[in-house]
């Protein structure tokens, strides 16, 4: 689980953090990214057709262009633009279909919808299960995957979120301040 995926390299992470404007201890910061990653990988392991590497990229990027921790409705589209910028700068090597999928997952992750695509579904569910950090229980109506309904998986996400657990991640991932 902690093998660094080929797509996430130190230069890519450096570029992500270059444009990161919030603190390292915030509710949308690197601690959250790590827990979204863990939730997403757990979901991917139970979801046929889910692309674990894209889910890790989503975890790293999706909130990285927030300008505040409150109302910032354009942060998803900005994360999608970042994914495309990273690809244009050759810091991210994905074929067009996978880049489009990552960009869509980022762009629309705050719209409140569900996704039929297994990868996007895992991304959004991973983020929704992390509402646990705000002590909000997941609402099945807003979950996309069957895996996210699993009580054991939900329990783990709840414990990790409510305690704001500092989870391991591959070397190079930004380190949250607690």
Interface residue list for Fe ion (CB under 5 A): 63, 127
Residue whose tokens read 């099945």: 140
Q: Which is nearer to Fe ion, 56 or 127 (CB)?
A: 127
Nearer to Fe ion, 89 or 136 (CB): 136
Nearer Cβ to Fe ion (67/89): 67
Contacts of residue 24, defined as CB under 8 A and 6 or more positions apart, other chains included, come to: 30, 174, 175, 176, 177
Closest CA to 175 of 58, 56, 32, 69: 32
Please give the torsion angle defined by the CA atoms of residues 149, 153, 159 and 161, in that order, rounded to the nearest 10 degrees.
-70
Only one residue has tokens 């297994």, namely 118
The whole-angstrom distance between residue 161's C-alpha and the CA centroid of its chain comes to 14
Cβ-based nearer residue to Fe ion, 51 or 127: 127
Burial class (CB within 10 angstroms; exposed 0-12, middle 13-18, buried 19+) of 119: buried
Place of tokens 């657990």: 165
- Shortest Å, Cβ 63 to Fe ion: 4
Smallest gap from Cβ 7 to Fe ion, in A, equals: 19
In whole angstroms, how close is the CB of 62 to Fe ion at the nearest point?
Answer: 5
Closest CB 90 distance from Fe ion, rounded Å: 27
Give me the sign of the Cα torsion angle 106, 79, 155, 174: positive
Which CB atom, from 69 or from 93, has the smaller least distance to Fe ion?
Answer: 69
Nearest-approach distance from CB 69 to Fe ion, in angstroms: 11
């Amino acid at each position: 689980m902690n093998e660094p995926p080929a797509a996430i390299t130190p230069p890519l992470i450096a570029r992500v953090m270059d444009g990161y404007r919030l603190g390292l201890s915030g509710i949308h910061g690197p601690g959250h990214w790590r827990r979204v990653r863990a939730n997403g990988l757990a979901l991917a392991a139970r979801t046929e057709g889910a692309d674990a590497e894209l889910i890790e990229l989503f975890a790293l990027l999706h909130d990285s262009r927030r300008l505040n921790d409150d109302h910032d409705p354009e942060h998803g589209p900005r994360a999608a633009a970042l994914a495309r910028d990273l690809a244009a700068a050759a810091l991210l090597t994905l074929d067009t279909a996978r880049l489009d999928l990552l960009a869509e997952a980022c762009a629309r992750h705050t719209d409140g919808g569900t996704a039929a695509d297994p990868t996007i579904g895992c991304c959004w569910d991973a983020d929704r299960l992390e509402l646990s950090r705000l002590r909000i229980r997941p609402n099945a109506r807003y979950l996309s995957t069957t895996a996210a309904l699993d009580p054991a998986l939900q329990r783990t996400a709840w414990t990790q979120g409510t305690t704001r657990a500092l989870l391991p991640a591959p070397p190079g991932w930004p380190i949250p301040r607690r």
